[in-house]
A and B are shown apart, each in its own frame.
Chain A
Amino acid sequence: MTPFELAEPTSLKEAIKLLDPDDPTIRPVGGGTALMLMMKAGVFKPVKLISLRRIENSYSTIAATGDGLRIGAMTTLAALERSADVKKAAPLITRTLKTLSNIRVRNVATVGGALAHGDPHMDLPPVLMALGATLTVMGPKGERKLAVEDLFAGYYETVLDKDELIAEAHVPAHGTKKAAYMKVTTGSADDWPALGVAVVLEGDAGGIKSARIVASAATDKATRLKSAEAALIGGKVDDTLLAKVGDAAADEAEYIADVRGSISYKRELMRVYVRRAVRAALEGAK
């Protein structure tokens, strides 16, 4: 890693002022677990990092709201994993975090970082997207709301300006919805996923009323599979319907080839795992 400067503002507003919309060598850093990888590889050589670790504590807290959760962007993934409020309102998040990276990374990595990094292999973005989470984004001109669904612009790309920061995430409670996240690895068991599938459903095996199905990792960004969702609505959930849903998902997604699999193979994984994820959601994941 080559030398750089580090600024440590004590407020979110101050941090935003230190960012420069036109200078890609200045970047914010939360836990740093993802950014450090790019810096060590020499892919990113910062002149200056703006640490968010000393901004207001409120951005590191989780609160139960009337209809769900407010999660500060600097909340660590470990805090999210251990939160009783999260387990109650959105148990899918708690379940997902158990197999997300490893404990040391979860102790340091932040919710805001996991989203803003734009890495399609991360597990939290598809889950938040399937749950219909929204974000409060702060910039020099004030705050704006953004659905997680609208955050990602492409491979490691988001719609955020370089001087905008995610301040909080708002997650609607599951309520009676049924949810599952399935992670498929093709290397070792602890590999980054070749495919992630998050499913949140209303209804039961007799008929699904609404569905959000999100794929990640096999695609260049976490992506809602709307034709698969549409195929799932209405009819009785049996092998025939699930086969249609799987086929719709397989046809709809756009894939990237990498060391974890070819496009053709990932398409087949999609076909199978969308089916399996819907079934897992309906059966009640452990």
Chain B
Amino acid sequence: MATTTQDAAKVGAQVGRSVQRLESREKVTGRAEYTHTMRLPNMLHAKMFRSTVAHGRIKSIDTSAAKKVPGVLHVITIDDVMKVIPNPYYGPAFHDQPILAHEKVRFVGEPVAVVLAADPHVAEEAAQLITAEYEELPPVFDEVDALTSKVYVHDELKPAGTFADLKHLKDAKNTNMALDYRLRKGDVDKAFAGAAHVFEHEFKTQKVLHLSFEPHATIADYRDTGVTLYTASQGPSFVRTEIARLLGWPENKVRIKVPFLGSGYGSKLYIKLEALALALSMIARRPVKVALTFEEMFYQITKHPCTFRIKSGLDKDGRIVARKCEVFWNGGAYADIGPRVTQKSGLTATGPYEIDNVSIDSYALYTNVTPAGALRGFGVPQLVWAYEGHTDMIARALKMDPVAFRRKNLLREGRPHATGTILKDAATEKVLDKLVERMNWSQPFDNGSGTVKRGRGLGIAIKAVITPTTSVAIVNVSGDGSVTLYCGTSDMGQGSDTAMAQMVGEVLNIPTESVRVTPRDTDVTPYDMGTLGSRSLFHMGHAVQRAAEHARDQLKALAREVGEPENSNTPIRELFVKRYGMQAGNVIGTGVFKPDYVPPAPGTGLSDNVTAFWMISGAGAEVEVDTETGHVKVTRLVNVLDIGKAINPQVVESQISGAASMQIGFTMFEKMHLDGGQVTNASLADYKIPGFHDIPPMENITVDTYQSNGPFGAKGVGEVATFCVSPAIANAIDDAVGVRLMELPLNPETVFRAIRAKAGQPLGDE
């Protein structure tokens, strides 16, 4: 491949170079391997029969007609599963999710039975012949209702035991609450009592989902001596731990292999189809593939809908003196990682502002809908939607410029965050300054005329990374001097393989392109907590850097041992030849990283070291609103981010524009429509995502920063451009037409209804 940047492959300066992705050739030739298109010899296909009721007790399941279909080998219910896995419940926070529905169904679309056949069409035909009878129970759908409802999704809560803040929920009954996170700082009640102004608002976000273009897929190949799972997973190490637990086996008998992911965005975290595939392979004693269709992704995992009640007290000068946040997370029928979303985002619910008196309550709630998990931001986009709308509304009410109001209250470097942790390497001021400059904020703005009105708006946000988590890496230098990296980070398009190889190249002084990154395989790749929450570049990056340094130090020792002078440029192969008499041997470098951390104090949630690093971003939008129809056109989107040092600027650019564009979809039109718990638009025909014509003109700017505790000054970048897009656009719409939208998405009908309501001519409810 003759290309210009390829020629730039050279020793030194690997970090900071726009290296072409190492897997480029595989991806553009269609030969990259993904689980969804993999096949094993003798493999069976699984098709699921799913619940049609939102909440009910299973009275009976009739599989007789399905069993009679020629070609059907097994029709499996939870009773069959429990013969091979007696306790069939799994999950990262709670062991609450059964491999197939057990006694109860808790959402429409929950898997109830499975057909296995060699021909997937036969399995599909048979699955359509299964019927079930349910004793229907009243459902609970809304997250605020769920807190006080007498309808309980689970009879008893079963914390997994992994997280300390869930222990008090063990065996809890008569509750839908899967976590009650709280933070208390100062005296909120007193501060509100003395405030000159008090503002209280309620914001909501809708149910949306990841829609990775490679739908979830797992192939399990169970043998009596061990099991291998090929799976589209963002966390092979966790899958191994959980599969070993379900089997009662040591982890070394469980092998998890993860090829490239056709993206994830959080949908393939922790454990998804793996436990089911395992059980099916155990029963069939053959490899079994469970691969979802596009429609089935609507019944697997979604983003959390959220209700956020936010209340602020201000002094007469416009300083925020108190803020009270109540956040309700709609977690769906199974907790998945919802409790961590609830806590880890919850702690930044007051935003990038310095406020002396703070109260945060953040509730993870069970409901009778598809479970919710992390989606590109780990809850933070839902919070920013609320607090940056709230911020603008206050500024507007106080007749203050929204930028001046933010500057007055901004949390600055060296000042304490609500948790008590001092802000460090978090460029709130730089980001806001750059955003204001790029938006020409000080210049007058043309608000349009006639039926097309124009407006502008902005927002700024903060996120803490999930802390503390662990990563381990191995760098293997072979006898010929070639270098292989073993790390468990799943490359799902974020370019992690390439970035990690750049770090190895930087330390060992070799071209990035010469480093091979082994596909994830828990038999050889060491532990990693998971590819999530923008943690990998920082955590795994550290581990990789340490492993490479460890290898480098051993190579130096080897050189000394064979009598080479200090800093000689003898090729590595020759060192091995001198040492072993031939091309032989290895140098193995290992690296482990776990950041320092102080757990939040019980009761107050305070900690002086709550996060390994902070993420800061801002966004500004200019819009045109068609006042006759409510159509909003985003004519300009400016994203300003603090990402530390960019390891690969070209990949960073596509991560930023990609994240912001994804959030455009969540902002403007994406929404799962539910009717009685039933998804009514479970297809790409009716659930639209952004295409070419939906992407606004975009400017992406990274401010000049260096993460002092990061590997080569870097920190995570995958999520940070999502945070502010929604409130920036809503604030711009308010500027254009004077209406305030409190719930996403900002689709034309929603905008039009608000315009008509403001004009005193509300649109009918037909």
Direct contact between A and B judged by beta carbons closer than 8 A: yes
A positions within 8 Å CB-CB of B:
1-3, 37, 41-42, 184, 186-192, 255, 257, 259, 261-265, 267-269, 272-273
CB <8 Å contact, B685 and A37: yes
In the complex, chain B residues whose CB is within 8 Å of the CB of A255: 766
8 pairs of A and B residues whose beta carbons are closest in the complex: A189-B693, A187-B688, A263-B766, A188-B688, A2-B125, A264-B764, A265-B749, A264-B766
For B748, what are the chain A residues with a Cβ–Cβ distance below 8 Å? 186, 261, 265
The answer for the CA separation of A272 and B748 in the assembled complex, in Å, is: 14
Q: Which residues in B have their C-beta under 8 angstroms from that of A261?
A: 748-749
Report if B121 contacts A (CB, 8 A).
yes
**Is B701 an interface position by the 8 A CB rule?**
no
Contact (Cβ within 8 A) A264 B765: yes
B303 to chain A, nearest CB (A): 18
Cβ of B131 within 8 Å of any chain A Cβ, yes or no, is no
Q: Is B669 close to A, CB under 8 A?
A: yes
Closest residue of A by beta carbon distance from B628? A272
CB distance A3 to B121 under 8 Å? yes
A190 with B693, Cβ < 8 A, contacts A259-B681, A263-B766 known:
yes
12 A-B contact pairs sorted by A residue (CB < 8 Å): A37-B685, A186-B748, A188-B690, A188-B691, A191-B688, A192-B685, A262-B765, A262-B766, A263-B766, A264-B765, A268-B629, A273-B629
8 Å CB contact of A186 from B669, B694, B765: B669
Cβ B121 vs Cβ A1 within 8 A: yes
Question: A1-B124, A264-B763 are contacts. A259–B680 as well, Cβ < 8 Å?
Answer: yes
Instruction: Fill in one digit per residue for B89-112: 1 if any A CB lies within 8 Å of its CB, else 0.
Output: 000000000000000000000000
B residues within 8 A CB of A259? 671, 673, 680-681, 686
**A192 CA / B122 CA spacing, docked (Å):** 32
**Interface digits, B241-281 against A, CB 8 Å rule (1 contact, 0 not)?**
00000000000000000000000000000000000000000
| Residues of the A chain whose Cβ atoms lie less than 8 Å from the Cβ of B128 | 2, 42
- In the assembled complex, the CB of B131 is this many whole angstroms from the nearest CB of chain A, namely 15
Chain B residues with Cβ below 8 Å from A41 are 295, 683
* B 266-302 to A, binary, CB cutoff 8 A, 1 in contact else 0: 0000000000000000000000000000010000000
B689 at the interface (CB under 8 A from A): yes
Interface class of chain B by DSSP: loop
Q: Which residues of chain B from 686 to 720 have a CB within 8 Å of any chain A CB?
A: 686, 688-694
Q: Pick the contact of A187: B121, B669, B764 (CB < 8 A).
A: B669
A267 to B295, CA, bound (A): 31
Residue among A184, A190, A262 making CB contact with B691, cutoff 8 Å: A190
Among A37, A186, A187, A188: residue with most chain B CB under 10 A: A187
- Bound CA span A189–B748, Å: 12
A-B contact count (CB 8 A): 70
Q: Could you give, for residues 121-156 of chain B, a 1 whenever the CB lies within 8 Å of some chain A CB and a 0 otherwise?
A: 110110010000000000000000000000000000
Query: For A186, A189, A273, which residue has the most chain B Cβ atoms within 10 angstroms?
Result: A186
Per-position 1/0 for B460-475, Cβ under 8 A of A: 0000000000000000
Residue from the set A37, A191, A263, A264 with the largest chain B CB neighbour count within 10 Å: A264
Q: How far is the CA of A42 from the CA of B121 in the complex (A)?
A: 12
- Specify which chain A residues have a CB less than 8 angstroms from the CB of B749 in the assembled complex: 186, 261-262, 265
Beta-carbon nearest neighbor of B626 in chain A: A272
Instruction: Tell me which residues from 739 to 766 in chain B have a Cβ below 8 Å from any Cβ of chain A.
Output: 747-749, 752-753, 763-766
CB of B665 closer than 8 Å to a CB of A: yes
Q: State the CA gap A239–B333 with chains docked (Å).
A: 54
User: Given the complex, which residues of A lie within 8 Å of B766, measured CB to CB?
Assistant: 255, 257, 262-264, 267
Interface residues of B in 545-559 (CB under 8 A from A): none
A268–B628 Cα gap in the complex (Å)? Answer: 8
Q: Is the CB of B629 within 8 A of A272?
A: yes
Output the least CB separation between A98 and chain B (Å): 13
Instruction: Flag if A265 contacts B121 (CB, 8 Å).
Output: no
Q: Which residues of A have CB within 8 Å of B628?
A: 268, 272
Known: A2-B124, A265-B749. A189 touches B694 (CB 8 A): yes
> Which one, B671, B686, B763, contacts A268 given CB within 8 A?
B763
Which single residue of chain B is at the shortest CB-CB distance from A121? B685
Whether the pair B694, A188 counts as a contact (CB closer than 8 A) is: yes
CB distance from B533 to the nearest CB of A (A): 28
Q: Report Cα–Cα, A268/B753, bound state, in Å.
A: 11
Do A3 and B125 form a contact, CB below 8 Å, given A264-B763, A272-B629? yes
Residues of B within 8 A of A263 (CB): 766
- Complex Cα distance A273/B451, Å? 13
Q: With A and B bound together, what is the CA distance between A71 and B195 in angstroms?
A: 75
Given A2-B125, A192-B685, A265-B749, 8 further pairs, Cβ under 8 A: A2-B128, A187-B688, A188-B694, A190-B688, A190-B693, A265-B748, A268-B628, A268-B752
